[in-house]
Structure 1
């Protein structure tokens, strides 16, 4: 049984970033990267954005070339799923029966797409979009004059609808009244939704599928309101769940993710977690959160790697996220949740401006719509935690 100073479980952005964090403090310690995917670590955002619009190519989304891993002495084991973690013996075992000893271990297992539990939700050919293989398979199926049904009106559903609209006749269905209801105030959600419709996307809101079935080479979807929708492609994007099984079965504390402290340590001092699966303290908000976005995985993975190698520095970074829906783009940071009070300071209504998310008069989150390079100002407003008014927020970020 081979021993490594550092074992990273997960070949996504957080796992790859951890390598850099480790090497910043330890140039020689042995590293093993275990990934269930057969591909080397790659960037996930282009899968629903730039790849479809021809702004980048598949070969350009990989985070590093082989030389990067070779030069840093990283052993990569691709296509091997970690199946069992023993914190007491400090071993991790793969599905193929390989076992490895570790000094420090990082759980960067990410998240998996939530599956529909309605009849037909497990039919072959339904795409629960998440990975590069999903993109490659769907790209080959996304031929002109074909139809696609997208179930879900959140981040992934709205981004894929905009992307597939290039070649396909696209229908969206989701249970809320407006797109991205969790983050867009109703007026903005309505405006973005109208823009989708103007682009030719059929939007069915306030409705949900009740069954899927095969119809020749395509699919038939029956809805709660009695609609029957035929489509060549069926894509389901109804959220993700953190991959906590390995941690849970090992006896580590889990909840809405793998629970970590300010140093990204789990309840075992030699096991860390970072990225989409980590439930971590967010100092600026005074609460613990789990964040499923690129910037958090990038920064948190590197931070965890550095701490594994001895830095022992609390994670204090305020991550952001972003999206582009046709001509509407935004960056956001903090607690961006429409269950909070919202105030919109528009320069151009529902297009250009800043949305503030408030609790008890304090800014908890900020979304900058077609306003760029102002993240630091938004972070500072959140970090200060001062009582504000709508008047004081007008023009605060431009």
Structure 2
């Protein structure tokens, strides 16, 4: 009987295990996680769960009984310390060995860190700690106007805290959305009382706040750092697998070893639509990438070409984003930007490469179809809904 092992008990890993069973795999499935919680989804940690709007049980991918009921050997609180490709064996942190026939690496990413005693938001424990601290702190300083940083800032404002955001870029989400839409998010936070400090970096976190690269010191009761994440590629690199920004895979999520696969935040697969490798850290990539990897492990003909997708809820704004803005040369708006009810389209050479719907719903499929079509569009018709 074949043994398929999944390293990383997050959303991608749990969905891969589920898909293996749904597709008829009757061998042994071992799902190994370094965290002590069973697999859960991360978006609520900086959204509803952080704000106390949803219950803890809702964050989990499966009920506790799902794993024994589906004969999935879930092992929690056990880090994998080494992959021995030649022997098809994992070395575990408890001293044991786990053989495998096929292996999926779904180890995710870890927060990028700064020197000093700051708080980070990655795990359910992190979210619960911040929720408690929001109830105690009068002032919160957020380092990084990233998605996590801004969602944390919105949650702190919802808790009634004074909030300052420090960001070295000229505006919020500059790399993710470009300056045009980055300014919109900056205005949203400023309108909701956040003190935004752009063009300045945090050099060090201190016991009383942050020391900036300029030498200025800002004080706060609580400092939260959201400056991006680093994929957990150490196991793969040490094993001799090919690694770039993430673990390099083909379009079937197969690594440089034919029996080892990668999915989720840690993977950097070749994307047929873009003609290059693309690493995506968002929730939808784990949700869809885990099942795609499972089907690939089963020998099915898999081409993982999901368009990157992300969503956020901040104050009165809800939005969904699809695509990749790299190389855009124009933005077209449909609707009213000032009233926060519009669609933004990023274009390159008159083709839609990304779209963001803000407080406009049920249009993601339409946006993604435009991206996939590579059709040349008329900007005026696109703005009026005729394209």
Select the residue among 193, 196, 199 that pairs with 1:200: 193
Which of 198, 203, 224 is matched with 2:213 structurally?
224
Q: Give the drift of 1:144.
A: 5.0
CA contact (8 A) 2:14 2:39 kept: yes
Higher helix share: 2
1:32 aligns with 2:30: yes
Task: Tell me the alpha carbon deviations over residues 271-313 of structure 1, each in whole angstroms, 9 at most, x when there is no partner.
Answer: 0000001111222222220011111101110111122123232
Is 1:281–1:289's contact at 8 Å kept on the other side of the alignment? Answer: yes
Bigger mean CA deviation after superposition, 99-108 or 145-154:
145-154
Report the RMSD for the aligned CA atoms in angstroms: 1.8
In structure 2, relative to structure 1, the CA distance for the partners of 1:194 and 1:94 (3 Å cut) is same
Rounded to whole Å, the distance in 2 between the matches of 1:51 and 1:235 is 17
Contiguous gaps of at least 5 residues in structure 1: none
Q: Distance in 2 between matches of 1:95 and 1:145?
A: 37
How many angstroms apart in 2 are the aligned matches of 1:382 and 1:225? 42
Cα distance change on mapping 1:397 and 1:328 into 2, 3 Å = farther
- TM-score relative to the length of structure 1: 0.92
CA contact (8 A) 2:50 2:128 kept: no
Range with greater deviation from structure 2 (153-162 or 320-329): 320-329
Question: Residues of 1 paired with 2:233 and 2:241: CA distance?
Answer: 9
Q: Does 1:263 align with 2:256?
A: no
How many pairs does the alignment contain? 385
Aligned to 1:182: 175
With normalisation by structure 2, the TM-score equals 0.94
2:141 is matched with: 149
Supply the distance in 1 between the matched residues of 2:204 and 2:273 (Cα, whole angstroms). Answer: 43
Look up the match of 1:109.
Answer: 107
Structure 2 unaligned segments of length 5 or more: list them. Answer: none
Structure of greater relative contact order (alpha carbons < 8 Å, 6+ residues apart): 1
Distance of 1:176 and 1:397 partners within structure 2: 36
> Could you say what secondary structure the match of 2:51 adopts?
coil
Rounded to whole Å, the distance in 1 between the matches of 2:308 and 2:216 is 41
User: Residue 137 of structure 2 contacts residue 221 of structure 2 at CA under 8 Å; is this kept in 1?
Assistant: no
> Aligned in 2, Cα 1:303/1:296: closer, same or farther, shift over 3 Å?
same
Where 1:183 maps in the other structure, the secondary structure is helix
Q: Find 1:212's aligned residue among 198, 205, 217.
A: 205
